Amino acid sequence: MSTPRTNSGGFSDLFHDDGTDPLDDKPSPTPKKRSKRVRVAGDSRFIGCPFSYFKLAVSIMHSAHELAVALYIYRLRMVHRSKTVTLSNERLGAELEINRSAKYSALRKLSDAKAIRVRRRSGQATVITFTDRKHVR
């Protein structure tokens, strides 16, 4: 077995001592300054639903429960990957503790704004179909 080759100075030349310990914690970098300008994006923003749908829902809903219904049915649409979803009173009550009058009020307002079509079936869950129109009021 041969001995490892070193420079003429031996092992002392393998390491350069700059007076720092490589295992010490490094100082955290200074945070970058944020721009003071306010950016306003177009209608391509997405906040759980298209921004245009959100603006429409906020403008026509009168209560937080109605707005919650509007956002919830859009969530169902995304989860099921379908323009048509069903929503029962029991499901809405169990998951969000929202009563059926808030549900029907929200659905009526969205239907009047032509954002959805609603089909009620006696004794069964309401069928909701999104129209996919630009929701600009």
Mean confidence (pLDDT) of the chain: 80
Asked, for residue 81, whether it belongs to a domain, the answer is yes
Asked, for residue 74, whether it belongs to a domain, the answer is yes
User: DSSP letter string over 38-103?
Assistant: PP---TT-BSSSBHHHHHHHHHH--SHHHHHHHHHHHHHHHHHTSSEEEE-HHHHHHHH---HHHH
Asked, for residue 32, whether it belongs to a domain, the answer is no
pLDDT digits (tens, 9 = 90+) for 118-135: 999 888 999 999 997 765
Asked, for residue 137, whether it belongs to a domain, the answer is no
Distance CA 124, CA 76 (A): 17
Nearest to 111 by CA among 50, 61, 45: 61
Asked, for residue 12, whether it belongs to a domain, the answer is no
Q: What is the CATH number of the domain that holds 80?
A: 1.10.10.10
pLDDT digits (tens, 9 = 90+) for 36-67: 665 555 555 557 788 889 999 999 999 999 99
Asked, for residue 84, whether it belongs to a domain, the answer is yes
Number of domains in the chain: 1
Asked, for residue 88, whether it belongs to a domain, the answer is yes
> Can you give the pLDDT at residue 132?
79
Domain limits for position 64 = 51-130
- The proportion of the chain whose per-residue pLDDT surpasses 90, expressed as a percent, equals 53
Asked, for residue 136, whether it belongs to a domain, the answer is no
The model carries a pTM of: 0.64
